[in-house]
Structure 1
């Protein structure tokens, strides 16, 4: 959806810009631009504005002459320039490899979520007391507006749990606080040693609606070998322990454990058979009284209500109360349930998840400061290969899966963008060769984009990928400004070197004007702060870096590319038509025999 939204926005804005440029701009030029007589230098320097414009033009003309000489020198050393282009392509590939990958950057949205878990089986009363104490300490953190504690809900499993709770934390308005959400989360973790009985985790609000609210790393580990829950728990704890030792992982956790106290009910099947009691009736009675059984539903107040049969709480607090539960035999006798069922204390899992039809446990977490989600995902994949046996496999879910799919689509998007630009240029120039010079000017923009992201610690995320696609078009635009005039000069009889040099001399000003206007317009994005700054900085930094490097390199490289491409294809002999040669030989007079 992000790609579609950006594509629609850019396409519509460019279409409107083209419409205005082809209709309104010529009319305004005819209305506003008037012929002016030549003025002397003294007349041009009248007033402060006149002096600034005059001396700027003097400086620009000198710079233009130096630039023209350098362009001719670059063409003379075209082989060295082409080696430089190869080096740029190689460096771009290196930065593609070393730039951290990500999905979308985290944003300071003025809210974050705290999740806590106590010892398995802890009562809700104990949870309420711990929740009140923790919420008071969190409220004292700088910038926190209020805390809304909720006891008895586990955000990690999205289920009710007496030993868990959540604390949504709302921050003050951004202009009224100096502390960020991310620093507040660090302060929450600093409170953890004060609560040894609580497992505290904090997560920022997801940058996009629908993304995971419990960290940017999520995967399910599937048990394909049919191991029991104790074996699964062993691998789950080993996985989490290894993950928390890696520098790329800030926090990793799993909700899967076998430490939940409970009871294992054992049915004496032989005794049930001797008393003529169906075993299925025993299980049904246990489920109805101790767990609850839905028997009906009814409509009232515009809603559907469930009718659930269940024993009163005081009869479910103690397993000894099974003596009050009776099951009916086939003879019509009522048999006490405790005579058929034995309750043995046991440690088990609160629930077992299934993923793709197999028993599974979920691993989730967040990357450490200074590391991207892509680096953290690679670390977790390495741990999976090290810890898990061959009977276990894993699959990314939630935001991690979206990031993986987006990364796989990026290369296809780049390729499609390049192909479309090339085909449009082929239609424009009615040639397959001239667009090659234009497309070869794109690598400097790619290198500048990736290098600026790497230097500033930004990620190769969706916003950078959109910026990269824009840079392909902008780099091609700069090349077109020179190649178009060079082609016209070549058709007017100038040699290829003179045509390229004159085109570069004439089109330097519009290239610099349009490029710097765009770069300066994107600088506020690259240095943005506050809510939404993550996405703006990622895109703005990529565009500013890529366009700046492409502008300064492209004004020297594009004329060289035009000359090299023209010379290469003009010197390549055209394939001969064998049928035409055979026809000519048939029309030649026969050679007299010796």
Structure 2
């Protein structure tokens, strides 16, 4: 929540610095609570909670919420400087800027709402985020159009008459900007070619960016899963787990270690929770770390040290990490031939261990464990009247006890304790004793050896299947590397590039979700652009000028990608959400410019160049104000001032980088694009005029 407060305070401070008027600042700032509080009611209606995604949506749009009010108030201030009364200035300014404010807000809604209907795992992330952001932006529009002009009319003061009569002098920034804008309009082709070159160059950044699904989180909590060799007893597992605990406890940044022996479970699940599996040769160590503010390194670096520390443990498989997204990737092989699958999995595991920079490589192929194989002699059993069910029940009860549902229970005041009766361990390990187990038959009990062959052997602990095919999953710990980079390295390995016939590789884990994310992102982006275009056509009653407004989209991509590259962030789900959000925001600048240029040509009868320069002069200030206010509102998130910024930070970095680049380029390029679109429009009109004159007249 403090990110929301800090972002709001910075956005209001930017307004105060530009307007230098406490009253105007308060009118603009009133839009924040008046837009956010109704959003909470909408969240309650949709069943959303205050979680990381909904709070993130509010924290990121906090600068956007004050955006509409800033544009309204700045325009009212400009009319006040003309000597008008506050009420007259509010009415005329609100009428003048109304279409642009509505257009900017509905383009944002047109981007956010489609993301709420994406499918798959990414869609679960986008749903609450998109709806919350869209509702908040809609309420900001309602406040800006209904309450802000009314508050300005009765709260702002008229400017002194002498000051209003004096012509307003442009500052240093405005003078230099108007010079640059005039130069670009005189050299239209050079400006257009430069803009296209910048866009093409920005696309070259994409291969340089690491790609992933979700960045690894820093929760100050990790786990170590130990798997001992087959046949290990609970006492042996406890001794190894205790040895591992003694190795980890002295490490810097480790606060405490909780050991669970005889079960394998994740960080968020206990010994009886879903996902916990009882196995005497497995143990889980839950490691609590110091908070992110108290340590000088990331959780990934601490986990890398834990891996190095546990290397001396003999005969132990171990994995380090909480098991969340961004911690590991999975390589899944499947086949109907068990032996062929095991051979392919062993080759793949051997090659995976040669990759540089990754953590442990753990194969899910079940290890061979010692077993007692009992093979019934069906002819002899039928002769003695021994059923297979009776044989299996006697062996099961003697060696491992009965099924848990059939066990007698000791009733205590708070719980029930199952009573398991089985042979002593020394007896269970003696084949001769097991052979003498008495099996009920037709003419009395007979020894097990009389109806079955009992031998000591080995076999897999379990068989995993997916789509009715046996499969082996190999977990590769990413050790802080992006899943896209590791996937590229894995795909080049010989054992996986040329799998034997009958063995296939199935997509799974973060790699599968990453492909699903980028596929859904392309569809959501296309729908968003189409909806923005439809909204602009309906508002401007023109099919060509909305293309001018959409030209701001490619101009923002370079800044967003460059910001990711400079900060070392990966192109993952948070960055995708940021790009989608950026699509709606960056059109604001071009909407303000195009709207005023069209109005200046129609109302003031100015020529094209004069109308564009007047639009640049009148709208540059609110464009820069809203850009800096939105960037300031997202700055605490981009700086990673929260507890765990791994998910929020890339999103804010993308938006700020794209917004700044788009603002600088839009102020110069959009007027030039307007002239080219206008030339096309004039050409169409001339062409349609020729066709009309060429029509034959009826006698």
TM-score range (shorter-chain normalised) is 0.7 to 0.9
What is aligned with 1:36? 160
Match for residue 356 of structure 1 among 467, 470, 476: 467
Deviation of 1:579 (Å): 11
Deviation of 1:557 (Å): 0.7
Tell me whether 85-94 or 112-121 shows the greater mean CA deviation: 85-94
- Alpha-carbon displacement from aligned partner over 1:152-199 (angstroms, at most 9, x marks no partner): 123498532222210011123444444543232122112123213322
Deviation of 1:524 (Å): 2.0
1:437 and 2:520 equivalent?
no
Change beyond 3 A, Cα 1:113–1:307: closer
What is the distance in 1 between the residues matched to 2:693 and 2:417?
91
What is aligned with 2:125? 2
Change beyond 3 A, Cα 1:578–1:537: closer
Deviation of 1:573 (Å): 5.2
Deviation of 1:302 (Å): 12
Match for residue 112 of structure 1 among 222, 242, 247: 222
What is aligned with 1:322? 434
Is the Cα–Cα contact under 8 Å of residues 112 and 204 in structure 1 kept in the other structure? yes
Match for residue 423 of structure 1 among 527, 531, 534: 534
Q: Secondary structure at the match of 2:628?
A: helix
1:447 and 2:558 equivalent?
yes
Change beyond 3 A, Cα 1:566–1:581: closer
What is aligned with 1:243? 352
Deviation of 1:303 (Å): 11
What is aligned with 2:343? 234
- Alpha-carbon displacement from aligned partner over 1:80-114 (angstroms, at most 9, x marks no partner): 22223332332343333442222221221121111
- Alpha-carbon displacement from aligned partner over 1:226-271 (angstroms, at most 9, x marks no partner): 313x433222221122222223643332121443222333334454
1:254 and 2:359 equivalent?
no
Match for residue 551 of structure 1 among 641, 663, 667: 663
Match for residue 249 of structure 2 among 119, 139, 143: 139
Greater length-normalized contact order (CA 8 Å, ≥ 6 residues apart): 2
Deviation of 1:486 (Å): 0.8
1:184 and 2:302 equivalent?
yes
What is the distance in 2 between the residues matched to 1:564 and 1:490?
16
What is aligned with 2:114? none
Q: Secondary structure at the match of 2:311?
A: helix
What is the distance in 2 between the residues matched to 1:454 and 1:178?
23
Mark the runs of 5 or more structure 2 residues left unpaired by the alignment: 1-123, 267-274
1:512 and 2:630 equivalent?
no
Change beyond 3 A, Cα 1:64–1:175: closer
Is the Cα–Cα contact under 8 Å of residues 549 and 591 in structure 2 kept in the other structure? yes
Change beyond 3 A, Cα 1:506–1:582: closer
Match for residue 581 of structure 2 among 453, 470, 474: 470
Deviation of 1:458 (Å): 0.9
Aligned length: 560
What is the distance in 1 between the residues matched to 2:502 and 2:414?
46
What is aligned with 2:290? 172
State how 1:221-300 maps to structure 2 within 5 Å.
Answer: 221-223=333-335, 226-228=336-338, 230-247=339-356, 249-273=358-382, 275=384, 277-279=386-388, 281-294=390-403, 296=406
Is the Cα–Cα contact under 8 Å of residues 210 and 570 in structure 2 kept in the other structure? yes
What is aligned with 2:591? 480
Deviation of 1:431 (Å): 0.5
Deviation of 1:150 (Å): 0.6
Deviation of 1:323 (Å): 3.1
Deviation of 1:119 (Å): 1.8
- Alpha-carbon displacement from aligned partner over 1:106-158 (angstroms, at most 9, x marks no partner): 22112111111222221111111111121122121222221110111234985
Match for residue 678 of structure 2 among 563, 566, 580: 566
TM-score by length of 1: 0.85
- Alpha-carbon displacement from aligned partner over 1:207-231 (angstroms, at most 9, x marks no partner): xxxx69xx432353221xx313x43
1:62 and 2:186 equivalent?
no
Tell me whether 73-82 or 116-125 shows the greater mean CA deviation: 73-82
What is aligned with 2:607? 495
- Alpha-carbon displacement from aligned partner over 1:497-540 (angstroms, at most 9, x marks no partner): 22212211221111111111211222222221562211222112
Deviation of 1:313 (Å): 4.1
Change beyond 3 A, Cα 1:393–1:301: farther
What is the distance in 2 between the residues matched to 1:8 and 1:301?
50
Q: Secondary structure at the match of 2:375?
A: strand
Deviation of 1:484 (Å): 0.7
What is the distance in 1 between the residues matched to 2:517 and 2:561?
17
Deviation of 1:417 (Å): 1.3
What is the distance in 2 between the residues matched to 1:139 and 1:205?
21
TM-score by length of 2: 0.73
Deviation of 1:442 (Å): 1.0
Tell me whether 162-171 or 304-313 shows the greater mean CA deviation: 304-313
What is aligned with 1:13? 136
Deviation of 1:292 (Å): 4.9
What is the distance in 1 between the residues matched to 2:419 and 2:471?
30
What is aligned with 1:47? none
Larger radius of gyration: 1
- Alpha-carbon displacement from aligned partner over 1:528-559 (angstroms, at most 9, x marks no partner): 15622112221121111111111111110111
Change beyond 3 A, Cα 1:337–1:22: same
What is aligned with 2:233? 123
Q: Secondary structure at the match of 1:460?
A: coil
